[in-house]
Amino acid sequence: MGLVGCGKSQEEIRLEKENQAKALEQEKIKKLEKERIETENKIKELVKNDLLDPESAIFKFQSKNDSNIHCGTVNSKNRFGGYVGDTRFIYTGSGYVMDNYQPSDDLFKQTLHLLTFEQTWISKCEGIKPKQKVDLKECANYSEMALVASHSYINNQNLPFNDIKRIVVKVHKHPKHLSEFFDAVRKLNVSSEDQSFPMMYAKVQYAYCLEGNTSSK
């Protein structure tokens, strides 16, 4: 890139500087695009290694808030030759995590999935940026309490509500908001057969908390 020459008019100097800045910006964009393609190809190969039919894989990547996080979905064929549908994944640089969620009455598995996948997906992949002064640990706990309350309510509807609520709140290490969530879920009149509700409810509450709201709705 040549230096701005002497003996040029102010307008010529301005235009030359402007063109140099544009050229540098274009080079930067090309470099970032090259790095993005290389990283996505690396991720594709990693994910393909765990698929039954890697050659059938269809990938979709999406924008995110963190340059160190790569989010996307993959769809591939099962052993019967049919596509299974888009499955989400998160790549963190050291490896990737696949969305293996299945509705279940196992609270431990549900909590683990919420903390290790869903909260990262919401904050890094869905573009929901925490408002200023929002405590991420508090939001993590907030959504976990939403999961615990809704899961406990759905899977124990054969027992008196106040007994379930009292026992769960008493034994839990972090009972803040738990009582509120019990009351809120009860008002929703959720069926005991809807095992997908607790995770959905917890995800909504996490996004709600990131936006600066912590009232159990």
Which phi and psi angles does 65 have, rounded to 5°?
Answer: -85, -20
What pLDDT is attached to residue 65? 58
**Annotated domain spans of the chain:** 1-96, 100-217
Indicate the helix (H) or strand (E) that contains 150: helix 136-154
CA distance 150 to 165: 11
What pLDDT is attached to residue 1? 46
What pLDDT is attached to residue 217? 54
Per residue in 87-101, is it b (16+ CB within 10 Å) or e — as a string?
bbbbbeeeebeeeeb
Nearest to 214 by CA among 138, 152, 147: 138
Q: What is the pLDDT along the chain (217 residues), one digit of tens a residue?
A: 445 455 678 888 888 888 888 988 889 889 988 988 999 999 999 999 999 999 999 999 987 656 788 999 999 999 999 999 999 999 988 889 999 899 988 999 999 999 999 999 998 898 788 888 889 999 999 999 999 999 999 999 999 999 999 999 988 877 779 999 999 999 998 998 999 999 999 999 999 999 988 765 5
What pLDDT is attached to residue 6? 57
